[in-house]
Structure 1
Amino acid sequence: MCAQYTQRLPARLEDLAGPTHGTVDLPLHVAWSGRRSYTLDQPRSRMGLYRTVLAEGQRQDLIRFLNQDLLFAQWPVLRTLISRPARHAWEAAFPELTAARATAAA
Structure 2
Amino acid sequence: MASTPSFSEVRRERFARRRPAELSELRGPVHGSVSLPLHLAWSGLTEFDLDQPRLRMSCYRIVLAEGMREDLVRYLNRNLLTSMWPVLRTLISRDIRDVWESAFAELTPGTQAAA
- For normalisation by structure 1, the TM-score amounts to 0.93
Counterpart Cα distance in 2 of 1:49 and 1:23: 11
Q: Which amino acid aligns with 1:91?
A: E
Unaligned runs of 5+ in 2: 1-10
Identity fraction in percent: 58
State the SS of the aligned residue for 1:86.
helix
* Map of 2:56 onto structure 1: 46
Matches within 5 A, 1:1-106: 1-98=11-108, 99-100=111-112, 103=113
Q: Which amino acid aligns with 1:82?
A: I
Shift of 1:53: 0.3
Query: After TM superposition, what 4+ stretches of structure 1 lie above 4 angstroms from structure 2?
Result: none
Structure ranking higher in helix proportion: 1
Shift of 1:95: 1.3
Unaligned runs of 5+ in 1: none
Q: Which amino acid aligns with 2:43?
A: S
Counterpart Cα distance in 1 of 2:80 and 2:106: 14
Kindly provide the CA deviation profile for residues 68-99 of structure 1, in whole angstroms up to 9, marking residues without a partner as x: 00001100000000000000000011111111
State the SS of the aligned residue for 2:43.
coil
- For normalisation by structure 2, the TM-score amounts to 0.86
Shift of 1:12: 0.6
Kindly provide the CA deviation profile for residues 25-58 of structure 1, in whole angstroms up to 9, marking residues without a partner as x: 0001111111100000000010000001001010
Higher Rg of the two aligned structures: 2
State the SS of the aligned residue for 2:89.
helix
In angstroms, what is the RMSD of aligned CA positions? 1.1
State the SS of the aligned residue for 1:11.
coil
